[in-house]
Amino acid sequence: MHELYKTPIWITEFAVADWKAKSVVENQYKPYEVLKFMEQVLPQLKKLDFVERYAWFPSNVTSNALCNSSLYGADDKLTRLGECYCDA
């Protein structure tokens, strides 16, 4: 899209989700896996000069599909993932 239209790219929402999870416990993606993904993808996005902005999808820890992608815990404090995102 960038090459075609010569405009910057905004990635408005992305996260790791298990859309088949019927509960938080059944979510197939573990917090350390989501953290590893974030640690790998954010530096790559920053390197791409045509990616002007990006935003992690704001989820919460009670979401079956997105619980392990939450930036905040049940105590409203940053999760390790949230810290990683802030530090990026």
pLDDT of 82 reads: 97
SS3 category, 79: coil
pLDDT of 79 reads: 96
Distances (CA, A) of 49 to 38, 52, 84, 88: 19, 7, 21, 16
Q: Is the pTM of this model over 0.75?
A: yes
pLDDT of 53 reads: 96
Digit-by-digit pLDDT tens for the chain (88 residues) are 888 999 999 999 999 999 999 999 999 999 999 999 999 999 999 999 999 999 999 899 999 999 999 999 999 999 999 999 999 9
pLDDT of 51 reads: 97
pLDDT of 58 reads: 86
